C-alpha cells in the first residue's frame, strides 16, 4: 500500500510540475510584459496550485467517468463540490488572458457547459449511492 501511495503522490507532483512549466513557458514567452500577461499569470498560477490541492484531497476517489467510491467533504470540498472543474477552468482562463488571444476564450465557452454537464452526472451518481448524506452536503456547498 505504501508503494502505491508513493506512486500516486509522485504522479500528482509530476502533474503539478507539468502544469506549472506549461504556464511559465506561456507566460514568460518573449515580448513585453503587459497588464494582461500579469493578470493571466496571477490567475493561472494560484489556480494550478489549487487544482493540485483539490486533486490531492480527492485522492483515490478521482476518476474520469462518474463513480461513487466515497464522498469527499474535507478541505476544498467542504466549500465546493467540484473544485477540480473550477480551478482547471480558471487556470485555462489565466493562460488565455496571458497569451492575449481573446478568441481563445471561445474554448472556455465550450469547456464550461461540458464541465457543468459532467458535474451534474457525477451528482446523480453520488446521490444514488449516498442519498441524504449527499443531499445535505450539496445544500452546504457551491457548484
d(CA 18, CA 33): 23
Counts for the chain of helices (H) and strands (E), in that order: 5, 0
- State the CB neighbour count (10 A cutoff) for residue 8: 14
With cell 474554448, the residue in question is 107
18 SS3 class: helix
- Residue 1: per-residue pLDDT: 46
Nearest residue to 26 (alpha-carbon basis) of 103, 95, 89: 95
User: What's the pLDDT score for residue 131?
Assistant: 95
Q: Residue 66 phi/psi, 5° resolution?
A: -60, 120
For 19-58, what is each residue's pLDDT tens digit?
888 888 887 788 888 999 999 999 999 999 999 999 989 8
- Name the residue range of residue 66's domain: 2-140
CB atoms within 10 A of CB 40: 22
9 pLDDT tier (thresholds 50, 70, 90):
confident
Is residue 70 over pLDDT 60? yes
How many domains would you assign to the chain?
Answer: 1
Identify the pLDDT of residue 87.
Answer: 96
Amino acid at each position: 500500500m505504501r508503494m502505491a501511495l508513493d506512486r500516486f503522490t509522485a504522479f500528482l507532483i509530476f502533474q503539478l510540475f507539468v502544469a506549472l512549466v506549461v504556464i511559465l513557458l506561456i507566460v514568460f514567452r518573449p515580448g513585453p510584459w503587459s497588464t494582461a500577461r500579469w493578470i493571466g499569470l496571477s490567475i493561472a498560477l494560484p489556480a494550478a496550485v489549487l487544482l493540485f490541492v483539490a486533486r490531492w484531497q480527492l485522492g483515490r476517489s478521482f476518476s474520469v467517468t462518474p463513480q461513487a467510491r466515497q464522498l469527499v467533504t474535507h478541505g476544498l470540498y467542504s466549500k465546493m463540490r467540484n473544485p477540480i472543474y473550477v480551478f482547471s477552468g480558471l487556470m485555462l482562463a489565466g493562460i488565455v488572458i496571458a497569451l492575449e488571444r481573446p478568441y481563445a476564450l471561445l474554448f472556455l465557452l465550450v469547456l464550461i457547459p461540458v464541465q457543468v454537464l459532467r458535474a451534474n452526472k457525477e451528482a446523480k451518481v453520488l446521490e444514488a449511492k449516498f442519498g441524504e448524506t449527499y443531499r445535505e452536503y450539496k445544500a452546504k456547498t457551491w457548484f
